[in-house]
Amino acid sequence: MLALLEGSFALLERVNVRLGRGPAQTAAQRLGIAGERAAYFYLRRQGFTVVARRWRHATLRGEVDLIAWEGDTLAFVEVKTRRANTGVAAEFRIDEAKRAALRRMAEAYVRQLPWRGRRPGHIDVRFDAVSVYLADVGPSDIRLQRGYL
């Protein structure tokens, strides 16, 4: 069922691009969105519960690609996408400025969680990286690095 849904989203996106619908996007933006979608379905197949995609905060710059629970751990996931595996892992493109921004965004996200009238409890937080190497034909190569950042 999940594979059917994943394929349907990919098909709809290709149709919309060909019909010129939706916001204008560069090739790099389309590649990034396709990678995030592939990472989303990959994490779902791995048992993650994805609770946010492309999350933004009202006052902080940047966005978190995916936020997901794996058991009792809340994972903030940065997705890096490439067309081909060049031998250098895509996640090496995550620099210190991006890491610092992700930490700030994670703190803001946890602060806004509903605590139902009680003091905020302790939440195990982890920063993961997903490298997506999209294939023109066949399955894409997707790699999860838990605790990467």
User: What's the pTM value of the predicted model, to 2 decimals?
Assistant: 0.79
**Between 20 and 38, whose confidence is greater?**
38
Task: Give the chain's domains with CATH numbers.
Answer: 2-145 (3.40.1350.10)
- The angle at the Cα of 74, spanning 71 to 80, to the nearest 5 degrees, equals 115
Which of 88, 34, 73, 137 minimizes the C-alpha distance to 42? 34
The encoded tokens of residue 38 equal: 């592939």
What mean pLDDT is reported for the chain? 84
pLDDT tens sequence across 47-96 = 999 999 999 999 999 899 999 999 999 999 999 998 876 777 777 778 88
Query: What mean pLDDT is predicted for residues 19-46?
Result: 85
